[in-house]
Amino acid sequence: MENLKHLIFYFKGYQHVADFQRLCGVEIATVEELTSNDNNGISNNVEKSTESNRPDHDAIKRNVNGVHKNGYKNGLHNSEGHEKKLAYKIKNKAFYFLMQFGAGLGGEIFYITFFPFLLWNIDSRLCRHILLIWYPLMYFGQFLKDMIKWPRPGPPAVRLEGNRFEMEYGMPSTHTIVGTCIPFSLLVLVSRHYEMSWGLGLFGALVWAGLVACSRVYLGMHTALDCIAGVGMTLVLLPPMLSVVEQVDFFQLTSPYAPIFLLLLPILACVYYPKPAVWSITRGDTSNIVSIGSLVCTVGWFHYQLGWMEETPHPPGLQPFPPITTDWLYYSAIRTVCGVIALAVSRVVSKKIWLKLVCNFAGVETKDTAKQREIGLEVPMRWFVIGGLAVNTAFTAPLVFHYFGINREYYYKEIGL
C-alpha cells in the first residue's frame, strides 16, 4: 500500500513530466530567477495571500490581465517566494511533431474533419452512435476539471503548447477521454456489423489512445495521473454506454418526445454548468462539445419526422467491408474538401454576425470581452456558432450534395436496430 501511495504521488507530481520531456529530446534550462515582488511585466504572477507575504497556492492564479492560468506558464513560485522561469529547446523535431499530431487527435481541427468525414462518406448511424458516447463523456470530464481544480504541470516541466489550454485545470485529461472513447467505440461498433481483424483493430485503438496520452505529458499539459484518470474513467463508462447506444439512437430519432433529451437537457446542462470564480475556457469548450453532439442528433430527428429517413436495419450476420472504389475516393474527396472549407468560412462569418446580435440583445459592447464572460454570453454564442456548424454539417451540406448529385446514396437510410 505504501508503494502504491508513493507511485500515485510521483505520477501526480511534475518531475516525471520533466523526465519524460528530457527523455524525448526537450532540453530544459532555468534562465532566470525573479522575486515575487518583481513587476516587470512577466506573465506568471500570482495574487499573494492577504495573511502573509508568501504566495497562497490555493488562491486563484492570474496573469497580468486578470485571467487565471490554473498553474504557471513555465514558472512556479516556491516556498521562499521566488519564481523560476524556464527555457526549453526542442532537439528531436520529428518526435515533437508526432506529439503535436497526437494532441491534435483531441482538438477542434480533428472534430471539424473527423465527424463530417464519417457522416458524409462512411455511415451517419455510426457517427451518431459515437457522438452519443463522446459528448456525455466529455461533459463529465470537463465538469470534473472544474470540481477537482488541479493545476497544469509546472517546473521542473515546461509547457510546449500555447496559452489557450493553460487557462483550464488538468484533472482529468479530456484529451485522453476523447483519445480513448473514439477509437475503442469505433472498434466495438464496427465489429458488431462488419468482418474485421479484432487484433489489428485493438492494436490501432491502443496506438491511438497511447499517442494522445503520451502527447499530453510530453507537451507538459498533463501529469501521468491526469491521463490515467481520463483513460480509466472512459474504460469504466464505455461498456455500459456501448451496450445501449443503438437503442438510444433509435429512440432519439423516432420518438416525438426526443427533443426534450436532445435539446432541452443539453442546453440546461451548459447554462447551469458551474461558473468559475475567474473565467476559463472550460465552460465555452463544453458548450462547443455538447452543441455538436446534441444538434447533429437533433437533425437526424428532423429527418425522420419529415419522412426523409428510411428504416433499414442492419442485415443479420457480419458483412464484409464495402470496397474502396475509385468513385468512392473521388466523391469522398470532393465532399470533404468542399464541405470543410464551407464550414470554416461559415464559422468565421456566423461568429461575427452572432456576436453582434447576441451582444446587442444583452446590451453589451462587442469588444467588451470581460463583460461578455461575466454574464455568460459564451454559452449562447457557442451554441449559435458551433451548433450552427453542426446543423450545416448534418442538414445543409447533404442537401447541397444532393442538389449537385454527389451525396452518398445511403445517407438518409441509416436507421434501425
Positions annotated as catalytic residues are 175, 222
- List the strands of the sheet with 82-90, edge to edge: 26-35, 82-90, 75-77
- 247 vs 11, 123, 125, 187, 241, CA distance in Å? 39, 17, 12, 18, 10
Between CA 134 and CA 57 the distance in angstroms is: 34
Residue 92 has a CB neighbour count (10 Å cut-off) of 14
3 state SS for 130-154: HHHHHHHHHHHHHHHHHHHCCCCCC
For residue 8, give every residue at least 6 positions away whose Cβ sits within 8 Å of its Cβ, in sequence order, or none.
225
Q: State the angle between helix axes of 282-305 and 108-117 in degrees (0 to 180), rounded to the nearest 10.
A: 10
Three-state secondary structure call for residue 25: coil
Contact at 8 Å (CB) between 339 and 414?
Answer: no
Q: If you count them, how many residues does the chain have?
A: 417
